[in-house]
């Protein structure tokens, strides 16, 4: 579906959104793809939730999945680290490769895959343990530290990368659940980082947070993209504009279009994308 009236774009209808894209930010600067999905179809029992989704996700960039409620964003996100395996009715067909290796291959242990591909959920979900233990747990079970000093160093560097160290360094042995919502979300991000993942999936990570905590997470996402491939599902187009370099728009289980964020928001190719971005539905 071609865009017939180019004035009908985000720049004409929602200049604030176009202006939210930081200068020089809405472009993918790498030519390397970390994730390559081809013809992904997902069924929950009889119901088909995704139809032939093919998408390349760039390395060391933030890719945003946008689209109206129920269009399949989270379903596709969960295919990347096989979280759909945990839903008995879910069946996934098609291929998803990370660095050329099929995540659905029989030889892939989903537990190991999920340490390479971390996930952050809508609601912060720290373990009912201390701040230290929350971050140390993954490195311990994956044998990433040879002793106490190394484990402490991993905890400290993960909390620093998650922008939380200065707020918690004097209370590492207090419960993680005692932190504010925004701090808990950064603790969960530190927990994901602690096992040195390559990809971090975020499913509406700010939807339970206030604007200040949201701004901190967005800053953090921007810092982390130099080291990780990040994929974020968001209902906020302003957030997609602020944090991502690539945007993929889903509608009714189909990937309608994807491309550099700036292009998607200033000159979408498909009228469905244009209608969503200009607030006509969704
Ligand atoms: N566990 C499940 N069992 C059955 N159907 C499901 C399940 N999870 C999702 N679905 C259905 O699959 C479709 C896609 O859902 P999904 O959660 O992926 O969409 P979404 O775009 O992430 O939505 P939202 O923005 O509301 O979170 C919807 O019709 C939803 O009802």
Residue having the nearest C-alpha atom to atom 9 of ligand 1: 75
For residues 49-68, give the mean pLDDT. 97
Ligand 1 contacts CB of residue 63 (under 6 A): no
Tokens 């491309």, residue located: 259
State which of 64, 65, 74 you would mutate to test the pocket of ligand 1, scoring each by most atoms of that ligand within 8 A of its C-beta: 74
Say if ligand 1 is within 6 A of residue 53 CB. no
Q: Which residues lie closer than 8 Å to 87 by C-beta, 6 or more apart?
A: 44
Please report the pLDDT score of residue 19 as a whole number. Answer: 74
Per residue in 214-234, pLDDT tens?
Answer: 999 999 999 999 999 999 999
Q: Alpha-carbon dihedral of residues 141, 233, 88, 91, nearest 10 degrees? A: -110
- Judge if the beta carbon of residue 69 lies within 6 A of ligand 1: yes
The pTM assigned to this predicted structure is: 0.92
pLDDT at 115 over 60: yes
Which atom of ligand 1 sits closest to the CA of residue 76? 18
What ipTM was predicted for this assembly? Answer: 0.98
Determine if ligand 1 sits within 6 Å of the CB of residue 71.
yes
Atom of ligand 1 nearest to the CA of 42: 12
- Domain range 6-14+34-277, CATH architecture: 3-Layer(aba) Sandwich (3.40)
Ligand 1 lined by 74 (C-beta under 6 Å): yes
Q: How many whole angstroms from 272 Cα to the centroid of ligand 1?
A: 20
Q: Which long-range contacts (CB under 8 A, 24 or more apart) does 70-76 make?
A: 71/250, 71/251, 71/252, 71/253, 72/42, 72/250, 72/253, 72/254, 73/233, 73/250, 74/203, 74/233, 75/42, 75/49, 75/50, 76/37, 76/40, 76/42, 76/50, 76/250, 76/255
Considering only residues 111 and 16, tell me which one the structure prediction assigns the higher pLDDT: 111
Q: Which pLDDT band holds residue 14 (cuts at 50, 70, 90)?
A: low
% of the chain residues with pLDDT over 70: 93
Which residue has the least CA distance to atom 6 on ligand 1? 44
Distance 56 CA to ligand 1 centre (A): 22
Q: Whose CA is nearest to atom 1 of ligand 1?
A: 87
- For the chain, the structural domain boundaries read 6-14+34-277
pLDDT tens readout for residues 191-215: 999 999 999 999 999 999 999 999 9
Per-residue pLDDT at 6 = 43
């Amino acid at each position: 579906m071609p865009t017939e009236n180019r004035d009908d774009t985000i720049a004409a209808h929602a200049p604030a959104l176009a202006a939210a894209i930081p200068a020089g930010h809405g472009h993918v600067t790498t030519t390397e793809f970390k994730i390559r999905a081809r013809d992904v179809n997902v069924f929950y029992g009889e119901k088909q939730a995704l139809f032939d989704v093919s998408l390349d996700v760039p390395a060391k960039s933030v890719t945003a999945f946008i689209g109206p409620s129920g269009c399949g964003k989270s379903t596709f996100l969960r295919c990347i680290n096989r979280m759909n395996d945990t839903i008995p009715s879910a069946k996934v067909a098609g291929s998803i490769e990370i660095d050329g290796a099929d995540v659905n291959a029989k030889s892939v242990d989903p537990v190991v895959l999920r340490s390479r591909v971390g996930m952050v959920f809508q609601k912060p979900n720290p373990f009912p343990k201390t701040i230290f233990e929350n971050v140390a747990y993954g490195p311990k079970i994956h044998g990433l530290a040879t002793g106490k000093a190394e484990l402490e160093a991993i905890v400290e560097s993960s909390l620093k990368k998650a922008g939380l160290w200065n707020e918690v360094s004097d209370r590492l042995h207090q419960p993680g659940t005692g932190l504010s919502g925004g701090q808990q979300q950064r603790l969960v991000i530190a927990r994901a980082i602690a096992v040195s993942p390559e990809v971090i999936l975020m499913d509406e990570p700010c939807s339970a947070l206030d604007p200040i905590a949201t701004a901190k997470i967005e800053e953090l996402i921007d810092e982390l993209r130099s080291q990780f491939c990040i994929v974020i599902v968001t209902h906020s187009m302003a957030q997609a504009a602020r944090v991502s370099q690539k945007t993929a728009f889903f509608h009714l289980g189909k990937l309608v279009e994807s491309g550099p964020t700036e292009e998607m928001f200033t000159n979408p190719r498909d009228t469905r994308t244009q209608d969503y971005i200009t607030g006509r539905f969704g």
